[in-house]
């Protein structure tokens, strides 16, 4: 470990996060929404109001779209461009972890923490995903890094960086960017009973926070008014917290179990062993272990994130990602204390080779076959002509629109469309794609139909497609065509 330095760690992380990005297509159902939104914003030259399918879209704040737009301008609208900033922010997160761990502990801890974070499965995957979470990881955790530097140091001006970071976090993912870091800081202050620190935390810095967030939120309110507030705050923040979007995931052990996957392989060589160590100490001393100030802060940081999201109704695998920064530092300290240097080297080498092999041989085919509809989109782009109608029956896939640059309508019965129409304050507010009723399909136009595999059972064995010609079958779709009826 002594021969490894920060520069090599940074180059290693950058190479791992960038590798294979140009070959992996934009995937459904999440990446394609972000990529298509940024593409439409760029083409419309509207850099304030996110839009998708020509409609305004209030799913997330604007910062990540700005990143995508900047990358598209620099590198063209390509897979590499779409994945560029997630990889860059992944690198920034590793560097931030290294610098922070070195400041609160030492260089050895910093290097091992950076290596552990870089090679953690969840962090590695998110560094390649076209989603907000890696950017949010950096800004969210920067609030807490700057807080602790200011709290433990003499230069209280570092507190201003907390407010700036919180503002950028709120521009990336919404109010949670200040509420949750604020909760962590409050809990830590309460545990320490250090209420005298609060007046020193530069309350005027809140003005900086307001200036940053108002740069987007204020013009969005002026442009879109109550519709923006009801959809962005009402649906994508309040509703997510109170009503599960995916009820089958709303189980009490969700993030506890997910930790072992996100922090793999390091979770299995640290968490059980650390738990056993503290259980033995408790039995030997008949008292809870005493943690110093720094370890208390790191544990408060990690546990609050996990418990907070566990209490929320809607659960996503990436929500607890920010907890990996303090967990990586804690894991490094535990492994150092146990004298596991050789094990760290072996796991690091074997797991890095595994990830490299995955990137080289499996990542692109896996995403192409199972998660993207690029092949379907390119086929449609070559065949659909001006004046033709393109409809999708089944799960609506934004990657088809992104790659084909065609207008695609979601096909449902008239009754089903009524049930799916966007209603403020409900999950249907996300259904901003254009619809067309089966009963309203025209007879005088060539119609291309993308039949999603989830609807095969509804169609097979019926006569619904007797008048349609099957053009091609893809891993997740069948494409049909129906010629106009001529008299």
Q: Are residues 326 and 414 in the same domain?
A: no
Last residue of one domain, picked from the residues 313, 348, 367: 367
The answer to the question of residue 487 being in a domain is no
Q: Are residues 284 and 413 in the same domain?
A: no
Last residue of one domain, picked from the residues 338, 367, 396: 367
Q: Which domain holds residue 379?
A: 374-482
Q: Are residues 207 and 281 in the same domain?
A: yes
Q: Are residues 323 and 397 in the same domain?
A: no
The answer to the question of residue 234 being in a domain is yes
The answer to the question of residue 197 being in a domain is yes
The first and second tokens of residue 164, run together, are: 């700036």
Q: Are residues 257 and 286 in the same domain?
A: yes
Burial (CB < 10 A; 0-12, 13-18, 19+), residue 246, is exposed
| Summary mean pLDDT of the chain | 92
Give the pLDDT of the chain (487 residues) as one tens digit per residue. 444 588 999 999 999 999 999 999 999 999 999 999 999 999 999 999 999 999 999 989 999 999 999 999 999 999 999 999 999 999 999 999 999 999 999 999 999 999 999 999 999 999 999 999 999 999 999 999 999 999 999 999 999 999 999 999 999 999 999 999 999 999 999 999 999 999 999 999 999 999 999 999 999 999 999 889 888 887 777 877 788 777 888 898 999 999 999 999 999 999 888 888 878 877 777 766 778 899 999 999 999 999 999 999 889 999 999 999 999 999 999 999 888 888 998 999 999 999 999 998 889 999 998 899 999 999 999 999 999 999 999 889 999 999 999 999 999 999 999 988 887 777 787 889 999 999 999 999 999 999 998 888 888 778 788 889 999 999 999 999 999 976 5
HEC profile for the chain? CCCCCHHHHHHHHHHHHHCCCCCCCCCCCCHHHHHHHHHHHHHHCCCCCCEECCEECCCCCCHHHHHHHHHHHHHCCCHHHHCHHHHHHHHHHHHHHHHHHHHHCCHHHHHHHHHHHHHCHHHHHHCCCCCCHHHHHHHHHHHHHHHHHHHHCCCHHHHHHHHHHHHHHHHHHCCHHHHHHHHHHHHHHHHHCCHHHHHHCCCCHHHHHHHHHHHHHHHHHHHHHHHHHHHHHHHHHHHHHHCCCCHHHCCCCHHHHHHHHHCCCCHHHHHHHHHHHHHHHHHHHCCCCCCCHHHHHHHHHHHHHHHHHHHCCCCCCCCCHHHHHHHHHHHHHHHHHCCCHHHHHHHHHHHHHHHHHHHHHHHHHHHHHHCCCHHHHHHHHHHCCCCCEEEEECCCCHHHHHHHCCCCEEEECHHHHHHHCCCCCCHHHHCCCCEEEHHHCCCCCCEEEEEEHHHHHHHCCCCCCCCCEEEEECCCEEEEEECCCCC
Q: Are residues 233 and 208 in the same domain?
A: yes
Q: Are residues 336 and 432 in the same domain?
A: no
Q: Are residues 394 and 350 in the same domain?
A: no
pTM of the full structure? 0.94
End-to-end Cα spacing for the chain: 80
Last residue of one domain, picked from the residues 346, 367, 388: 367
Number of compact structural domains in the chain: 2
The answer to the question of residue 1 being in a domain is no
Q: Are residues 394 and 337 in the same domain?
A: no
Q: Are residues 114 and 167 in the same domain?
A: yes
Q: Are residues 301 and 251 in the same domain?
A: yes
Q: Are residues 325 and 429 in the same domain?
A: no
């Amino acid at each position: 470990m002594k021969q490894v330095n920060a520069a090599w760690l940074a180059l290693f992380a950058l190479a791992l996060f960038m590798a294979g990005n140009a070959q992996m297509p934009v995937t459904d159902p999440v990446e394609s929404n972000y990529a298509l939104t940024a593409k439409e914003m760029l083409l419309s030259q509207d850099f304030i109001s996110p839009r998708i399918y020509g409609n305004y879209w209030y799913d997330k704040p604007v910062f990540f779209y700005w990143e995508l737009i900047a990358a598209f301008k620099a590198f063209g609208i390509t897979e590499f461009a779409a994945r560029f900033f997630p990889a860059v922010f992944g690198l920034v997160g590793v560097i931030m972890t290294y610098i922070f761990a070195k400041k609160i502990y030492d260089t050895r801890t910093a290097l091992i923490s950076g290596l552990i974070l870089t090679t953690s499965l969840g962090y590695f995957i998110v560094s390649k995903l076209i989603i907000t979470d890696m950017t949010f990881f950096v800004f969210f955790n920067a609030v807490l890094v700057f807080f602790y530097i200011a709290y433990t140091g003499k230069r209280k001006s570092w507190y201003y960086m907390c407010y700036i970071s919180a503002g950028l976090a709120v521009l990336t993912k919404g109010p949670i960017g200040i509420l949750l870091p604020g909760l962590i800081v409050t809990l830590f202050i309460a545990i320490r009973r250090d209420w005298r620190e609060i007046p020193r935390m530069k309350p005027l810095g809140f003005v900086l926070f307001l200036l940053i967030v108002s740069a987007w939120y204020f013009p969005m309110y002026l442009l879109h008014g109550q519709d923006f507030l009801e959809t962005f705050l009402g649906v994508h923040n309040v509703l997510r917290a109170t009503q599960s979007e995916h009820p089958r995931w709303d189980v009490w052990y969700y993030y506890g179990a997910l930790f072992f996957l996100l922090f793999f392989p390091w979770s299995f060589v640290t968490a059980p062993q650390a738990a056993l160590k503290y259980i033995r100490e408790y039995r030997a001393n008949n008292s809870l272990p005493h943690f110093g100030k720094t370890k208390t802060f790191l544990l408060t940081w990690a546990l609050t994130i996990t418990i907070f999201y566990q209490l929320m109704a809607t659960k996503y695998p990436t929500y607890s990602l920010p907890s990996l920064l303090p967990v990586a530092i804690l894991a490094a300290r535990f492994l150092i204390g146990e004298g596991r240097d050789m094990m760290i080297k072996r796991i690091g080498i074997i797991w890095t080779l595994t990830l490299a092999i995955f990137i080289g041989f499996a990542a692109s085919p896996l995403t192409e076959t199972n998660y993207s509809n690029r092949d379907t989109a390119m086929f449609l782009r070559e065949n659909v002509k001006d004046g033709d109608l393109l409809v999708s029956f089944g799960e609506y896939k934004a990657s088809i629109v992104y790659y084909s640059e065609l207008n695609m309508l979601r096909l449902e019965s008239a009754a089903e469309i009524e049930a799916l129409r966007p209603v403020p304050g409900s999950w249907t507010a996300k259904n901003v794609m254009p619809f067309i009723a089966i009963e309203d399909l025209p007879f005088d136009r060539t119609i291309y139909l993308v039949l999603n595999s989830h609807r095969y059972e509804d169609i097979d064995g019926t006569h619904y497609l007797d008048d349609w010609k099957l053009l091609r079958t893809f891993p997740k779709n069948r494409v049909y065509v129906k010629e106009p009826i001529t008299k």
